[in-house]
Structures are given as C-alpha cells and as structure tokens.
Amino acid sequence: MAKVTIDGIEVEVPNGSTIIQAAEAAGIEIPRFCYHERLSIAGNCRMCLVEVEKAPPKPIASCGYPVADGMVVHTDTPMVRNARRGVMEFLLINHPLDCPICDQGGECDLQDQAMGYGMDHSRYAENKRAVKDKNLGPLVKTVMTRCIHCTRCIRFITEVAGVPDLGATARGEHMEVGTYVEKALGSELSANIIDLCPVGALTSKPYAFVARPWELQKVDSIDVLDAVGANIRVDARGPEVLRILPRINEDVNEEWLGDKSRFSVDGLKRRRLDRPWVRVDGKLQPATWSEAFAAVHEKLRGVPGERIGAVAGNLCDAESMLALKELMVALGSSNLDCRQDGAKIDIARRDFYCFNTGIAGIEEADALLILGSNPRREAPVLNARIRKTWLNNGMPVGVVGTETELTYPVTALGAELSVLSGLIDGTHAFGKALRDAKKPMVIVGQAALARPDGSAVLAAAWKLAGEIGALAPDWHGFNVLHTAAARVGALDLGFVPGPRGRDLAGMLGGGVDVLWLLGADEFDTSAIGPNTFVIYQGHHGDAGAHRADVILPGAAYTEKHGTYVNTEGRVQHGFMAVYPPGEAREDWRIIRALSEMLGKTLPYDTLEAVRARLAQVNPAFANVGFLPRFGASDLTAPAGDPAAIGSEPLVPAIASYYQTDPISRASPTMAACVTAHAPATAIAAE
Amino acid sequence: MAGSPDSPGNAGFEQPASFALDAESEAEIAKLVAKYPPGRQASAVIPSLYVVQRQMQRQTGSAWVPVKAMDAVAHRLGMAPIRVYEVATFYFMFNTRPIGKYHLQVCTTTPCWLRGSDEVTRTCRELTGIKGWGETSEDGMFTMTEVECLGACVNAPILQVDDDFYEDMDAEKVTALIAALRRGERPKVGSMAGRQGSAPEGGPTTLTTLSFAPEA
C-alpha cells in the first residue's frame, strides 16, 4: 500500500494504482475523457493533468502516472487549471459547435467539462476539420467530426467485446476512428460504445433526435430479454419508453448491456395487445374485460382440473407465475410447465438449475467447459465476463457444441456428446486441462438439456463437474446457463408438472381441454389440439395470441413491478416505468381478479402480499439483489443416467441473437440488425 | 493517403478483388517472422507491408497496398485486420492508393529547400505534367509526393525515386534523371554531382597534410 496525499487528503491505495484512482479514493474528481476504469489506460486526452510535488515540474497525466509512497498531489492549482484550460482549448479547436443539434447534449462530458475549463470564445479562426461519418450498422450513429480521439470505443470493442473492428487510421490531422472498410460492428455488445463515448460522436441511431435527457423519467428495472438479469434504467417520457440504458451492478452486468436488451425497446410499441379479445365463430373479436372473463368462466365450468393446463413463458415475472400456479392448484390442476423448449431440468435442488459460480465468480475460474451453449449469443454480458477472465489468466476453454467463435480462443470438442465420457474418465486431453485447474467450471446450456436425453446430459455434466474437482466445499463450478429470464423464477416456484401432471408435450395434441398460456410463444402452437380452448395472457400479438380463444392483455416488463430471478438465482425487482397500454393490466392482478370470479379467490390483493407469499413459497425470494457465494455441500447427482446419452449432435439453442422473444420480434431495430448481420459476421479473436 | 478507402479523397480507383501472397513474398515474410519470438509475429507487420507493396509493384507495376493485401498480411500474422489498417495508414511510405510506375519523392524540408528543392519540384512538374502533390501523371509513369526530411541533408536537395536516393539535384540533373527513367534506365544512385558519399566536391579540403606513416 502507498500513502498518498491529494489536496491535503491522505489516502492509502494499493501499489501500482494511478493518481486518478487514488484521487477517486480520496473523493476528488479529476476531469477525464479517455480514462475509463474498465478499459486499458490510453493517456491521450490529457484532460486529467495534475501537479505532483517533487516530480518533474510539469503537469502530469494522472490517469497513467503510478503513485509512490509519500507522494503529494495537487489537483487544483493555477498551473493545473491553466494546463487543463489549454487542453480544453485544443480539444475544442476541431470540435463543432453543434450542441443544439447533438443528441449527446445534456449528458456530454465535453459540454460539462467545457463549463469548468472552457473559454468563452475561441482563438482559433481557421477552418475546422471535417470527417466523413462512418456507417457502423443499424445501432450506432456516428458524427465523426465531433470525435475527440479518446479511443474509448476502440479499446472497448477490442478488449471487452473482443471483436476488434474499430481502429484509428491515418495520423495527425487526418486521424480517423472507424472500421476503415465499411462494415457493421460484429459485436453483440457494440452499443456500449454509445455510453462510453464522452462526446456526441457515437450516439444511438434508433433514438436519434427523439428526446433530451432532462425530459425523461428514469426508472430502475431488470432486463428480461436474456437470463442474465442485467440491471437497466428505463427512460420514459409520458406513456412511452424511449430508451434503455445499463445500470452498474458489479456482480451482474458491470456496466454493460447487450444490444438486444438495449434496442428492443421499439418493440414495446408494436403488435401490442391493448384490449381483451374473444374468439367468436372462429374469429377474434374485440371484447371488454367482463366479456373475456365471462368467456373464460363459461369454459372452465364443468372442466375437471386434470383437463386444464398452464404454460409460463420466458418473460414472466414471478408474481404472475405464482398467481397462475396457485389458481391452477385451486382448480385442481397439476398440469404446469415453464420449459417451452422441453429442457430436462431436475428441480430437486436449486444448484441443479442455477449458475452456481455466479457471474462475478467466473473471474476466479481457471478452466472452463461449455456444454451446449453459445454464451456470446445467449448471454453476451456473461460472455464478456468469460473473456475478461481469459484475458486475466488465459484459462483454457473447451466447447462441446457447434459454435466456437466466442471472442476468446476455445478448444473445439465437436458437437457430439460422446466426448463427455472421455472428459469424465480423463482419457480426453481436455479432461486433463480441467483436472489440472484449481477452480474449474462447467457451463451447461439449454441446447444440451432441451433434448430427449437432456436429463442424462445433466447427470453426466454433474458427474464431470465432480470428477474434475468443480464441486468443492468452497467452490461450486457446476452452472446451468438459461436463455429465458423467467425460467429460474418459475423453477423456484415449482412451475413444473405436479404428481400425475402433464408437461408441455403432454398438454399439446389435445392433452388438455383448456390451456392457459402466460406469455408463452416459444413453442409450436400448431401442435395444440384443435379442440383445446386457449387462453393467452400476454403483451404481444405473437404466436400464442394467434391461436388463442381468449386474449387477456397483460403488461410488458417495463409496465409492471416485477420480480425476476436470473440464471444465477439472484432475485431482483424491476419497477414500473410506464402504464400498460389501453386496457392491459398487470398480470398477477388479472389472475387475481379472475380467481375471484371463478370462486377460487387468491389470498392476496396487494403487491406486498404477493411478494410475502412468494417468500413463503420459496425463501429464496426474500433475498432480493444479494446472492451469497456457496460451495457444493451435497454431491448427490441430479436424476438421470449419464450412460443414456444419445448420439444426436448438439444444435444451437437460439437461432438468432437479435430475435428471441415477442418483444424483440416486434422490434424494427432488431429486424434491421438481423438484416445487417446476415450472414453472420466473422470475427477474429485478438 | 489518409482516410478510409471509401472516403471521398480516395474515390476514383478500384481495389483489387483479391490478393494472395506469392512464393517470393511468403519466403520474405517467413524470414521476417523468424526474427521475433514465437507468438510475437505481429511485430513483423511493418516490413511485411513493404513485402506486399513490392509484390504489387512486381505484379502490377504500381507499388501500393490494397485493402486485400492488408487482409492477407493480417491473416498471415494472425492479427485483426484493423490493426494492419492502422499501421498501413499511419506510415506514408505505404501507398494506400495506386501510384505511377516511378514514385518521385521530393524532400522540401529546410536544408533541401535552402539548397534548391523548389527548382527540383518545378522541374519535376514541368517534365511530368503533374500539378499537385500526390498526383499521378497522365501517362501513369510518375507520382509526385512531398516528403519530410530524408536524413541526407549533407547532399541536399534529395529526390527519392521509389527506394533510391538521388542527391545533389538541380534542374539539369532532374531532367537527365527523368529522361533516363522514361527510357527504363536506373542511373547510379547517390550523389549526382559525382561526390563520394558526402565527401566534399572535388576531393578533400581539410586534413590534406595528414600522414598515416608509422611513428618513428
């Protein structure tokens, strides 16, 4: 540790820290453009100049200058102020004065810092340079004349995203940031460069000229478009959600967000179910709530409990799934399922279906086997964490599956699951690499579980984890990576077939007379029996709604207070940013209202009461936000015979990153991404 | 020279659709890569770009580095293509657009300028018909570029043709040089005034009495 005095405040920081980090520790803010705590140090903006006693008598860039014991730093002397003013003047020489038409206005670092260090006029009378705008695809809008060459975007795309597409070409007056050859950015995390850009050079293309930051209501929420549960901020104006930005949560998404989660927002305004519908004479007709409820009531009367089924979708909040499950139980049905992909998951214990290592825990791992998952497409933020770990310790990564371009080098073990036996008994070369590791990890994806022999694969993966030492008292290296945000919550609530209950496959083809789809669109709805009465409760007119006999309009994730459990098993609350459109209502309230009409009144009518009931059903729901780290205490394997693995090769769990759910399928921006990235962009790991 | 291939300044020429390293280039790059420790082959990027520029000269008569050639270098050295683009555009010795058969590089930095680089420039322009820096003559024979100090100030002014220095230039010598180039000849490089290296014109002027006889 080194003792440093900054503006009279003494702080102790680890050796090797830089002055800017020490200042941060002392609570002193130093202006900066190029420095970012999650990227490598570039030291090229020169805005963070400070004065250091007994150092060379010149301003020192604090972002790249390591501290020494006893160092005395001044961040606010006349010399420092003058130096920063000089830097600012140079930065503004080629920066256009177009703040009134710039989307960054109001949240621009350059604007803010020019208030502190800018002059009231410019001494530069010559022509400013102009740079041609680049086309970086459908998400990132560029106005390259505004670029101040901080290179944050280049460093992010190269280091964090691992898709080195951006660079600085030419030099001096002619230096330009761009891709050199015109191409769309090939990363699923590309839009984070919009947040990183300290000026208006990179802004959001779909959000261009839509709103000013001070017009927006900012509400904290949780992303549901993948199972990572990234923390987001929903920015709304009036009844409209205008954009979604990441919030910092070191344990989950750091400060990154996948492109789909950020830009599917325009899908929230399209194809919405904003009123109830009832099918009359084979055609869906608009109806009132009471008509819709009456139709459901009419149909359910006289249908025995075992002929009723319910399927929970991928975007559901835990509250609505709890209400639906309890209504089904009250009606005498145990036909429940939340696994639309048919994944064979053992819910006997929570660590059979959670990402037990934790997302932050990945950084401790020193070897990784990915089994039937493409984290780059299924959970890009989590994939960035794997890449970060690989950058830190160069851990070997093996992939059983078809896709191997994961932004870090991998050992491709083929798509055949027969390789598992070799890994388990250690005869395979990669099995040795896993055994040599101190903290090995296994990630099992849905592609490995959503197949007839899924439980065998799960058991084999557990066995492998035990063999390689991933199941230790202080290290739980067995992980299931989900693709659906609602999945772990549903499993925690036991939204799976009860005793003698039917699973989704059993409910299809006339297995039940009444089928309640709670936002379930990800299975082949044409397989539902022709005489099955389908109640669709959800927010988008997608596959499920087309087959429905009654549509109950629900709320999307930005329109309700919801509890979501991410793939780690972390319980998080999202808050309502806007009201649901038209007559749509919060989902658990719809079920609660209907239960009263059916004479099976559910015993809660406030959000607090539902959440209290959630915690009663599974104590995990009482633990919001925080997830304790745990080791593997019980080595009992999940049900399944590891020897019963079939010979079918693995197929990817999701076909396209950009369209996986009703919201992203309704989004024109996501459709544009699909077009821009077809065929899939090739990457070169650097 | 600056900017991306699709920027307006670089419009008006075609990038080749493909580029493959030929055997000669492959052998040269292999030699370059061998100079660095394993895994550090990216260090060979600058000389490798020279290799492909010379390959283009062999194959097309114009020494330049098209994007496909940069991609080939990136692939050969296991680098991301953008890292090669950055290097190739940073150094003006790499031509990112086609040039003429001969690349006339006139040094106009102070010592050359004091010794008459204006005359060299003017003569080159008159003889080739080139109007501005960076342009190529209509017959495709010459491209003229203004360069900064070439480090041979003692023999100023310098006219560099491709990789060769022609020193002590004046209008007459430029005329003779260009005429020779047009005939396909390459006059002897170095001082055009007949000096040996950078020794004084007409032989030594100092230390003439120095004797190297062994001391008695």
In 3D space, the residue among A306, A314, A652 whose CA is nearest the CA of residue A491 turns out to be A314
Q: Please give the backbone phi and psi of residue B88, each rounded to the nearest 5 degrees, phi first.
A: -65, -35
Q: Are B4 and A169 an interchain contact pair (Cβ–Cβ within 8 Å)?
A: yes
* Interatomic CA distance for residues A12 and A1, integer angstroms: 6
B141 touches chain A (CB under 8 A): no
pLDDT of residue B5 exceeding 60: no
Average pLDDT, chain A: 94
* Interatomic CA distance for residues A40 and A155, integer angstroms: 7
Nearest CA to CA, how far is A425 from chain B (Å)? 33
Is B108 within 8 Å of B69 (Cβ atoms)? no
Q: Any idea which residue has 């330009």 for tokens? A: A176
Cα distance between the two ends of chain A:
34
Interface with chain A: mutation pick from B1, B4, B40, B84, highest number of A CBs within 10 Å? B4
**Residues of A whose CB is below 8 A from B7:** 132, 176
Instruction: Kindly indicate the confidence band of residue A682, based on its pLDDT and cuts at 50, 70 and 90.
Output: very low
Residues 6+ away with beta carbon under 8 Å from A135: A142, A182, A184
Q: Are A167 and B8 an interchain contact pair (Cβ–Cβ within 8 Å)?
A: no
pLDDT of residue B213 exceeding 80: no
Token code pair at residue B62: 């114009």
Q: Are B3 and A170 an interchain contact pair (Cβ–Cβ within 8 Å)?
A: yes
**Residues of B whose CB is below 8 A from A151:** none
B81 touches chain A (CB under 8 A): yes
B2, B74, B80 member nearest A170 (Cβ): B2
In 3D space, the residue among A381, A394, A390, A434 whose CA is nearest the CA of residue A568 turns out to be A381
In 3D space, the residue among A616, A315, A631 whose CA is nearest the CA of residue A494 turns out to be A616
**Residues of A whose CB is below 8 A from B3:** 132, 169-170, 174, 176
Please tell me which residue, A523 or A680, carries the higher pLDDT value: A523
**Residue pLDDT, tens place only, B51-64:** 999 999 999 999 99
Interface with chain A: mutation pick from B19, B67, B70, B82, highest number of A CBs within 10 Å? B82
Q: Are B89 and A169 an interchain contact pair (Cβ–Cβ within 8 Å)?
A: yes
Give the other-Cβ count within 10 Å of B79's Cβ: 20
B5 touches chain A (CB under 8 A): yes
Confidence at residue B13, expressed as pLDDT on a 0 to 100 scale = 83
Q: How many CB pairs under 8 A join A and B?
A: 64
Mean pLDDT of A325-354: 94
Determine the longest span between alpha carbons in chain A, in angstroms: 90
* Interatomic CA distance for residues A537 and A587, integer angstroms: 8
**Residue pLDDT, tens place only, B75-108:** 999 999 999 999 999 998 999 999 999 999 999 9
* Interatomic CA distance for residues B2 and B96, integer angstroms: 8
Instruction: Kindly indicate the confidence band of residue A335, based on its pLDDT and cuts at 50, 70 and 90.
Output: very high
Token code pair at residue B58: 């062999």
* Interatomic CA distance for residues A445 and A461, integer angstroms: 11
Confidence at residue A677, expressed as pLDDT on a 0 to 100 scale = 86
**Residue pLDDT, tens place only, A164-195:** 999 999 999 999 999 999 888 989 999 999 99
Q: How far is CA B1 from the centre of its chain?
A: 14
Token code pair at residue A620: 């995990």
Q: In chain B, which residue's Cα lies nearest the Cα of A182?
A: B6
Q: How far is CA B163 from the centre of its chain?
A: 4
Q: Are B85 and A167 an interchain contact pair (Cβ–Cβ within 8 Å)?
A: yes
A303: left (phi over 0), alpha (psi -120 to 50) or beta: beta
Is A574 within 8 Å of A557 (Cβ atoms)? yes
Report whether the peptide linkage leading into residue A679 is cis, meaning its omega lies within 30 degrees of zero: yes
Q: In chain A, which residue's Cα lies nearest the Cα of B77?
A: A686
Token code pair at residue B169: 């230039």
**Residue pLDDT, tens place only, A28-55:** 999 999 999 999 999 999 999 999 999 8
Q: Are B80 and A179 an interchain contact pair (Cβ–Cβ within 8 Å)?
A: no
Instruction: Kindly indicate the confidence band of residue A465, based on its pLDDT and cuts at 50, 70 and 90.
Output: very high
B4 touches chain A (CB under 8 A): yes
Mean pLDDT of A263-284: 95
Give the other-Cβ count within 10 Å of A255's Cβ: 19
**Residues of A whose CB is below 8 A from B79:** 684, 686
Q: In chain B, which residue's Cα lies nearest the Cα of A176?
A: B3
What is the SS3 assignment for A665? Answer: helix
Nearest CA to CA, how far is A386 from chain B (Å)? 20
**Residue pLDDT, tens place only, B151-190:** 999 999 999 999 999 999 999 999 999 999 999 999 999 9
Q: Are A165 and B82 an interchain contact pair (Cβ–Cβ within 8 Å)?
A: yes
A158, A170, A181 member nearest B67 (Cβ): A181
**Residues of A whose CB is below 8 A from B16:** none
pLDDT of residue A384 exceeding 80: yes
Q: Are B80 and A132 an interchain contact pair (Cβ–Cβ within 8 Å)?
A: no
B2 touches chain A (CB under 8 A): yes
Mean pLDDT of A477-499: 95
Residues 6+ away with beta carbon under 8 Å from B211: none
Token code pair at residue A352: 């059979």
B85 touches chain A (CB under 8 A): yes
Confidence at residue A685, expressed as pLDDT on a 0 to 100 scale = 38
Nearest CA to CA, how far is B98 from chain A (Å)? 17
* Interatomic CA distance for residues A349 and A29, integer angstroms: 47
Sign of CA dihedral A71, A77, A81, A83: negative
Nearest CA to CA, how far is A142 from chain B (Å)? 15
Q: How far is CA B166 from the centre of its chain?
A: 12
B3, B5, B79 member nearest A176 (Cβ): B3
pLDDT of residue B10 exceeding 90: no
CA distances from A411 to A477, A653, B77 (A): 19, 20, 21
* Interatomic CA distance for residues B157 and B169, integer angstroms: 6
A546 membership: H or E segment, kind and range: helix A543-547
Residue type, A440: P
Mean pLDDT of A18-31: 96
Mean pLDDT of A445-459: 94
Nearest CA to CA, how far is A178 from chain B (Å)? 8
In 3D space, the residue among A565, A608, A508, A551 whose CA is nearest the CA of residue A316 turns out to be A565
Q: What proportion of chain B, given as a percentage, has pLDDT over 90?
A: 79
pLDDT of residue A248 exceeding 70: yes
Sign of CA dihedral A333, A337, A342, A346: negative
Token code pair at residue A419: 């390789």
- Strand spans (E) along A193-255: 202-204, 217-222, 231-237, 240-246
Is A244 within 8 Å of A225 (Cβ atoms)? no
**Residue pLDDT, tens place only, A606-620:** 999 999 999 999 999
Is A535 within 8 Å of A292 (Cβ atoms)? no
pLDDT of residue B211 exceeding 90: no
Instruction: Kindly indicate the confidence band of residue B4, based on its pLDDT and cuts at 50, 70 and 90.
Output: low
Q: Are A169 and B90 an interchain contact pair (Cβ–Cβ within 8 Å)?
A: yes
Question: A133: burial class by Cβ within 10 Å (0-12, 13-18, 19+)?
Answer: middle
Cα distance between the two ends of chain B:
64
Confidence at residue B216, expressed as pLDDT on a 0 to 100 scale = 57
In 3D space, the residue among A135, A137, A148, A146 whose CA is nearest the CA of residue A101 turns out to be A146
Q: Are A179 and B6 an interchain contact pair (Cβ–Cβ within 8 Å)?
A: no
pLDDT of residue A543 exceeding 90: yes
Confidence at residue A247, expressed as pLDDT on a 0 to 100 scale = 96
Is A344 within 8 Å of A458 (Cβ atoms)? yes
What is the SS3 assignment for A628? Answer: coil
Is A482 within 8 Å of A445 (Cβ atoms)? no
Is A290 within 8 Å of A306 (Cβ atoms)? no
Show the domains of chain B with their CATH numbers.
Answer: 19-90 (1.10.10), 102-191 (3.40.30.10)
**Residues of B whose CB is below 8 A from A181:** 4-6, 67, 81, 85
pLDDT of residue A353 exceeding 60: yes
Q: Please give the backbone phi and psi of residue B138, each rounded to the nearest 5 degrees, phi first.
A: -65, -30
Residue type, A324: L
Is A231 within 8 Å of A252 (Cβ atoms)? yes
* Interatomic CA distance for residues A617 and A322, integer angstroms: 9
